Amino acid sequence: MLAANAAFYDAFEAADLDAMSDCWEHSDRVVCTHPGWSSLRGWAKVAASYYAIFSNPSRQQLILTEPHVTRTGDTAWVVVDENLLGPAMGHTVAALNVFVRHEGGWKIVVHHGSGVVAR
């Protein structure tokens, strides 16, 4: 399950849309909420958002901290902090990824990220 989570972040760092596509369930029920964005529902909208993000030539590196996995049957979720390294200073995104087990492995059905405001 953590392997599926790692594959998601590897695809993000590599800006690899095919790899990102492999991580997600392709259905109408998937939801992705990028920091500051409205919730995007359905694989088509989610894929379009990653296409737009990956079209930006600047790549984002991240270091994951505080991963916690919870599993209930064929559903599991990972709560993790994404520490993004920028050219000037970094910032942290609190993230939640929900996975559902398929025959081919765990697929993401929800990703929700929100920027942590420095206090």
Beta carbons within 8 Å of 80's beta carbon, 6+ residues apart: 5, 64, 65, 66, 67, 68, 95, 97
How far apart are alpha carbons 108 and 18 in whole angstroms? Answer: 14
Smaller CB separation from a copy of itself, 17 or 93: 93
Any idea which residue has 């559902």 for tokens?
100
Beta carbons within 8 Å of 61's beta carbon, 6+ residues apart: 13, 84, 85
The answer to whether residue 94 forms part of the interface with a copy of itself (CB under 8 A) is: yes
The answer to whether residue 39 forms part of the interface with a copy of itself (CB under 8 A) is: yes
Q: Site residues for a copy of itself, window 49-68 (CB under 8 A)?
A: 66, 68
Element spanning 75, H or E: strand 75-85
Exposed, middle or buried by CB within 10 Å (0-12, 13-18, 19+), for 20? buried
For the bound state, the minimum distance from the C-beta of residue 27 to a copy of itself, rounded and expressed in Å, comes to 10
Smaller CB separation from a copy of itself, 3 or 117: 117
* Part of the chain binding a copy of itself (CB under 8 A), chosen from 3-11, 12-20, 44-52, 71-79: 71-79
The answer to whether residue 109 forms part of the interface with a copy of itself (CB under 8 A) is: yes
Residue numbers at the binding site for a copy of itself (CB under 8 A) = 29, 31, 33, 35-39, 41, 66, 68, 70, 72-75, 77, 79, 81, 92, 94, 96, 98, 100, 109-110, 112-117
